[in-house]
């Protein structure tokens, strides 16, 4: 049985859910800070979840580095850490329910086959619309590779606390989507819905790169009878010219050689500025704990920008505030 959370429940429950496929980066820091401040400003809980489903991509030692990095920066999470790699039985229960109810079905199609057949245009961050070859059952000669969930023609709409109104018709943006992959693991979309519901998470603060995934997750929440959390998608950190940052410049990790005892306070200060907050200039030399407490006391989601941008340069005058 999945326990569900609600936006209007008595206590806010937020979470931070990094993947140990590499060191934490500036985007991770922004997501951690935003989710922590949003949950704690309402006297809520801030949970930590390690999204390590994709075991071939997990880098040994990265989970421990994530713990040490967060602790060095002053973050304190509530309760025990949840590891997705240990929850296959829980995901299987939800998958079996969807299959029994006809909301999901086995699929024998490969990505290359779908790409050849699909004709609907799609944006760069989405796969081609699934043509539905296995919707009525596996065609003769095909073996099941993955499991897909059915989507309809209705439009899924929600209000994002940062980005505003969002609407998506799933049948036109990817179609029936995978919830168990051909190579074995349960897909992110299913795992995150089950984990958030079971943990009572009712506030999701994360990067805008996951905004397009939210309608799929809402669809699954409805199928499984889970409440929909309040969503806040934070702007992405970009490099000069708006491009993606290099891993070397983007790393915020003890494993990457950062001296977070010395640099951590300034990283948090700059992350607050990136999020449109205006910490007083005299906090530039404050401890990480003092900066986090300021964030909890004064974080204003209405001032968070909607567009991606560069992380504030350390050479800039800290008294200029958010840019």
pLDDT category of residue 318 using cuts at 50, 70 and 90: very low
pLDDT above 70: residue 207: yes
Q: In this structure, what DSSP letter does residue 280 have?
A: -
CA-to-CA dists, residue 288 to 187, 258, 295, angstroms: 35, 15, 11
pLDDT category of residue 188 using cuts at 50, 70 and 90: very high
pLDDT above 60: residue 322: no
pLDDT category of residue 271 using cuts at 50, 70 and 90: very high
CA-to-CA dists, residue 112 to 105, 106, 117, angstroms: 20, 17, 9
pLDDT of res. 7: 55
pLDDT above 60: residue 30: yes
| DSSP secondary structure of 109-174 | --HHHHHHH--S---TTSPPPP--TTTTSPPTT----EEEE---SPEEEEEETTTEEEEEEGGGTT
Q: How far apart are the first and last CA of the chain?
A: 46
pLDDT above 70: residue 320: no
Determine the average pLDDT of the residues in 218-230.
98
Of 204, 205, 196, the C-alpha closest to 224 is 196
Region of residue 257 (left: phi > 0; alpha: psi -120 to 50; beta: else): left
Which residue is listed with tokens 């390690």? 50
pLDDT above 80: residue 323: no
Task: Identify which has the larger pLDDT, 320 or 254.
Answer: 254
pLDDT category of residue 241 using cuts at 50, 70 and 90: confident
pLDDT of res. 126: 64
For 224, the enclosing helix (H) or strand (E) is helix 214-224
What the block records as the tokens of 269 is: 């200060």
| DSSP secondary structure of 240-278 | GGG-PPPHHHHB-STTTT--HHHHHHHHHHHHHHHTT--
pLDDT of res. 1: 37
**Least confident piece of the model among 102-111, 243-252, 294-303:** 243-252
Determine the average pLDDT of the residues in 77-104.
98
Determine the average pLDDT of the residues in 94-116.
93
For 222, the enclosing helix (H) or strand (E) is helix 214-224
SS3 state at 30: helix
pLDDT of res. 128: 85
**Least confident piece of the model among 84-88, 153-157, 158-162, 242-246:** 242-246
Average pLDDT score over the chain: 90
pLDDT category of residue 106 using cuts at 50, 70 and 90: very high
SS3 state at 293: helix
258 in Cβ contact with 296 (< 8 Å): no
**Nearest-angstrom CA–CA distance, 49 and 196:** 10
CATH superfamily of 1-101+188-323: HUPs (3.40.50.620)
Q: What is the pLDDT of residues 39-55, one digit of tens each?
A: 999 999 999 999 999 99
pLDDT above 80: residue 276: yes
Say which residues have a Cβ less than 8 Å from residue 275's Cβ, sequence separation at least 6.
30, 33, 34, 234, 235, 299, 304, 305, 322
């Amino acid at each position: 049985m999945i326990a569900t959370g609600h936006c209007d429940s008595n206590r806010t429950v937020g979470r931070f859910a990094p993947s140990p496929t590499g060191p934490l980066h500036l985007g991770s820091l922004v997501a951690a800070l935003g989710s922590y401040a949003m949950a704690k400003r309402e006297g809520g809980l801030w949970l930590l979840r390690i999204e390590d489903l994709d075991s071939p991509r997990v880098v040994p030692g990265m989970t421990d580095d994530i713990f040490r990095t967060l602790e060095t920066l002053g973050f304190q999470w509530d309760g025990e850490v949840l590891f997705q790699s240990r929850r296959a039985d829980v995901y299987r229960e939800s998958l079996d329910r969807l299959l029994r109810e006809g909301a999901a079905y086995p699929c024998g199609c490969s990505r290359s086959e779908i790409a050849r057949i699909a004709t609907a245009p799609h944006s760069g961050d989405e796969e081609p619309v699934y043509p539905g070859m296995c919707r009525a059952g596996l065609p003769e000669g095909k073996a099941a590779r993955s499991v897909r969930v059915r989507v309809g023609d209705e439009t899924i709409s929600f209000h994002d606390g940062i980005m505003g109104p969002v609407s998506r018709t799933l049948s036109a943006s990817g179609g029936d989507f995978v919830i168990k992959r051909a190579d074995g693991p349960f897909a992110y979309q299913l795992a995150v819905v089950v984990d958030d519901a079971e943990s009572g998470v009712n506030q999701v603060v994360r990067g805008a790169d996951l905004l397009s995934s939210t309608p799929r997750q809402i669809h699954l929440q409805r199928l499984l009878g889970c409440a929909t959390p309040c969503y806040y998608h934070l702007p992405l950190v970009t490099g000069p010219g708006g491009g993606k940052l290099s891993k070397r410049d983007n790393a915020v990790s003890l494993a990457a050689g950062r001296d977070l005892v010395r640099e951590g306070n300034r990283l948090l200060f700059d992350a607050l500025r990136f999020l449109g907050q205006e910490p007083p200039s005299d906090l530039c030399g404050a401890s990480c704990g003092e900066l986090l407490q300021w964030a909890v006391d004064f974080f204003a989601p209405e001032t968070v920008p909607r567009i991606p941008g560069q992380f504030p340069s350390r050479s800039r005058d800290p008294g200029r505030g958010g840019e």
